[in-house]
Amino acid sequence: MKNSVDLCRSCNTILDSVIDFGKMPIANAFLQKKNFKDEYFFNLESTFCPSCKLFQLREQPNPKKLFHSNYAFFAETSKVMQKHFNNLSGELVGRFKLSKKELVIEIGNNDGGMVYYLNKKKYKCVGVDPSKNVSERAKSKGVLMINDFFNYKTSNKIKKDYGMAKYFLSANTLAHIPNINSVFEGVVNLLDKKGVFITEDPYLLDVFRKVSYDQIYDEHVFIFSINSMQRLCKKYNLEIIDVKKIPTAGGSMRYYIAHKGDYKINKNVSRYYKIEQKYQINQFSSMKRFKKNCEKSKNQLLDFLNKYSKNNLIVGYGSTSKSTTIFNYCNISVDQIKYLTDTTPTKINKFSPGSHIPIYDYKYFKNNLPDICILLAWNHATEIFNKERNLFSLNGKWMVHYPTA
């Protein structure tokens, strides 16, 4: 079953169609050869709500098809992200003076998350994640886990078993949940007076400016802006009390949200809101411009690959969910990119969704160094370039697909 909508998932306004990226497999469904014939496809199309300004997918596969006992993404593969989560858990203790009596809930905490670091320091925490394999991993590290989808119904169960939450966290998860109204109802149901809901996700202004259309795939149902987040909050008598621009996940915005009137609103909110207005990201004309930029980026990448793939070994670094959109939108195959390398055990020796490019481990990469290396995990560029400095001295060339802003 697919969830295909013509009305906005939040406010029921008729959606405007923006970009059709075509037939797309599930971004994280890395597969074996024997499963090529049964591969699942849906239509990837970005749309925009003219009323509440939510940038969203028209069609999304059933979430149970995406988040299950074989979920491919393990957050612990990135040291930088782990440091980032540790820092945010430290902010709760430092800036927000978290006490050991207060409850912290994190949704989509995957194999650990912020609650892993808080739990180590003996704070009261619960993680909620529907993907069984990553939940089990978090449990093995001592985190109290609820292996389920978060929504209003789950929030009632959590309230009954654990009480109200002082802090409600989510990183790279809110944008993944199609039933956004049920999530907000759940947050309001659980968030104590003076409680703070902290959520961070890829930011629409970054996606537009970098033309990082690869942020658009089945899991990213929404790409938020301050404008759309503010409208969502208003519906639930919540408000954004602070924002922080962060570099993770390819350029994200962190929103600090509370019950209306509980906190003074930091000037950062209006400062960043004005930047959004300057770039007009919440207008339909920007969506049209973005569409043109995606087409341009696609043509540039194909010209590059067609020019160099005959006489050079071109490979991809990081078999990312994002690259599924690039490969399928641009029709890229093993003719142009010979293999992909990745450190995640569950991806190694499988093939990329739709494009069927083989994925090899890091050892193979080191023994078969390319002439040109396309950095598909570009959101981890600093970490990877630090590790791979020697590739430059071996005359290997790095390439990132998107035109920088």
Q: How many whole angstroms separate alpha carbon 73 and alpha carbon 137? A: 12
129 binds ligand SAM (CB under 6 A): yes
Pick the closer one to ligand SAM by CB: 106 or 276: 106
Binding mask 81-100 for ligand SAM (x = CB under 6 A): x-------------------
Closest approach of ligand TMP to the CB of residue 222, in Å:
17
Cβ of 300: how many Cβ atoms within 10 Å? 14
Q: Would you tell me how many other CB atoms lie within 10 Å of the CB of residue 101?
A: 8
Report the partner that residue 110 touches, choosing among ligand TMP, ligand SAM, none (CB closer than 5 to 8 A by kind). ligand SAM
Given the complex with ligand TMP, which of 300 and 343 has the nearer CB atom?
A: 343
| Region binding ligand SAM by CB under 6 A among candidate stretches 47-55, 105-113, 310-318, 363-371 | 105-113
Q: Which residues contact 22 (CB under 8 A, 6 or more apart)?
A: 43, 44, 328, 329
Residue 130 binding result from ligand SAM, ligand TMP, none, given CB thresholds of 5 to 8 Å by partner type: ligand SAM
Least Å distance, CB 78 to ligand TMP, is: 4
343 binds, among ligand TMP, ligand SAM, none (CB under 5 to 8 A by kind): ligand TMP
Where do contacts with ligand TMP occur on this chain (CB under 6 A)? 73, 77-78, 318-322, 342-344, 347, 377, 379-380, 383-384, 387
Using CB distances below 5 to 8 A depending on partner kind, what does residue 384 bind out of ligand TMP, ligand SAM, none? Answer: ligand TMP
Q: Which of 60, 89, 131, 215 binds ligand SAM (CB under 6 A)?
A: 131
Residue list 47-76, contact with ligand SAM (CB under 6 A)? 63, 67, 71, 73, 75
Can you name the residues that pair with 375 across neighbouring β-strands? 317
The minimum distance between CB 217 and ligand TMP, in angstroms, equals 10
Told to check if 165 binds ligand SAM by CB under 6 A, we report no
Of 9, 58, 176, 401, the one binding ligand SAM by CB under 6 A? 176
Q: Determine if 207 is a binding residue for ligand SAM (CB under 6 A).
A: no
Min CB(72)–ligand SAM separation in Å: 10
In the complex, minimum distance from the CB of residue 106 to ligand TMP, in angstroms, rounded to a whole number: 18
Minimum CB separation of residue 151 from ligand SAM in Å reads 6
Residue 67 contacts which entry, ligand SAM, ligand TMP, none (Cβ below 5-8 A, type-dependent) = ligand SAM
Note whether 252 binds ligand SAM by CB under 6 A: no
Q: Which residues bind ligand SAM (CB under 6 A)?
A: 63, 67, 71, 73, 75, 81, 107-110, 113, 128-131, 134, 149-150, 171-173, 176-177
